[in-house]
Amino acid sequence: MDNDVLRNIALSYSPMVDRNRKVTATRLTVSSLRTQEALKADHLLAAIAEVWPEGGQPVSLNIMSETLLNDLLRAKPLSSVMVEIPSFIACDPANTEVIAQLHANGNTLLLHGRPPSLLPREILPCFKHSIIDLADDRRKNEIPGHVEPGVVRSMGFIQSNVRTVAEMENSFARGALAILGWPIEDVTSTESPAASRAGQPDMAVLVELIRRVDEGEDIDKLEVVLKRDPTLAYQLMRYINSPAFGLSVEIGSFRHAIMMLGYKRLKRWLALLLATASKDANMRPVMFASVRRGIFMEQLVAHTGDDETRGEVFICGVFSLLDKLFQKPFGELLKTIPVPERVYQALVEGEGPHHPYLELARAVETETAPVINEYAEHLLMSLQEVNRAVLGTLTMANQLE
């Protein structure tokens, strides 16, 4: 459907991760980049409903435009849509009735930021959780088990702006239900315990399998390698039979998969599995990011690139965090994993035709709207095209989980 609001905003996303390192929801940040244009909340909600239907995985809407947010508060979002309401808006008595109505409609409401004054008593029960920036969290200075005099807390909190593993662990220790985003750089540093466990045996099997597929070896020889890791075989069948893959028949064996897919498409999904093979809990959100990068970059060229280009940008995105997972520079890592030349250029040299798509993917993950706009313009893409790629990515990613 044509949707004017997608022409004037920048969408970005980040995971909401609980203490078990499970992604429980997606935060979708909506930034207005065309402030002179009137933005309609019902148009935005119609676009979101295509990705998050009623009963789907929760999405938390972080609306950066006050005008658009006020319009949305008076619309009727699906119950699967969580709405983040800045504390200064929640404290305004003019919004009390609409907040109460959203709560009555079944929407989960999140109070964003520490209120500048007391909330109206009648809407306090409307908020399920609060979102507290780490820098503003008064709990940091409290003795465990003690609360500041006069402070009453009736809702759980989600921590934002967490940059390190230590900050993450401390947030959970203080009772945080989840954090927004993930400290990828820190969790994959050489000093991190998670990084030392990143290279798992099944990764070695995958690397060998990718190399043999690249060389076009016989199916029998490929099956021998795959049988060394039954868990890997199960994962492969699960991914291939997922709705995102779009096959009309169920794949029952590795041999059947190769017959149906061919070697090029098989290599693509082996690349996906390589990026999601770590068994370390702290690596789950890193793998989450790898999958979404690959899908997003493919979505960006879906209507302009040929099959070869789509396959290459997918692998480029999926492999873009392998250096962190394996704790090796790309120049060394890609000596053992065969990749197309344009993927090598993007990952090792930071240049080439695929590199701007990778930079755009990174910008979408970090909620930096001006940078998203800048890379879109560099690629001669409209904001609408980029936003559709974001929504298409989240649709496919939800189908894979």
pLDDT band at 110 (very low <50, low <70, confident <90, very high): very high
Average pLDDT over residues 153-178: 89
CATH superfamily entry for domain 195-400: Hypothetical protein af1432 (1.10.3210.10)
Q: Where in the chain is the domain with CATH 3.20.20.450?
A: 4-181
| Among 41, 25, 43, residue whose Cα is nearest residue 384 | 43
pLDDT tens track for 209-255: 888 888 888 888 887 777 676 666 667 777 777 776 667 777 777 77
Secondary structure class of 42 (helix, strand, coil): helix
Residue 322's pLDDT band (cuts 50, 70, 90):
confident
Distance CA 391, CA 49 (A): 10
Q: How far apart (Å, rounded) are the C-alpha atoms in residues 190 and 264?
A: 34
Mean pLDDT, residues 154-161 taken together: 88
Domain boundaries for CATH 1.10.3210.10 within the chain: 195-400
pLDDT for position 230: 64
Percent with pLDDT over 70 in the chain = 84
Topology of the domain covering 4-181 = TIM Barrel (3.20.20)
The mean per-residue pLDDT over the stretch 160-186 comes to 89
Residue pLDDT, tens place only, 347-394: 999 999 999 999 999 999 987 888 999 999 999 999 999 999 999 898
Calculate ∠ Cα 87-67-42, nearest 5°: 110
- Residue bearing tokens 């593993």: 165
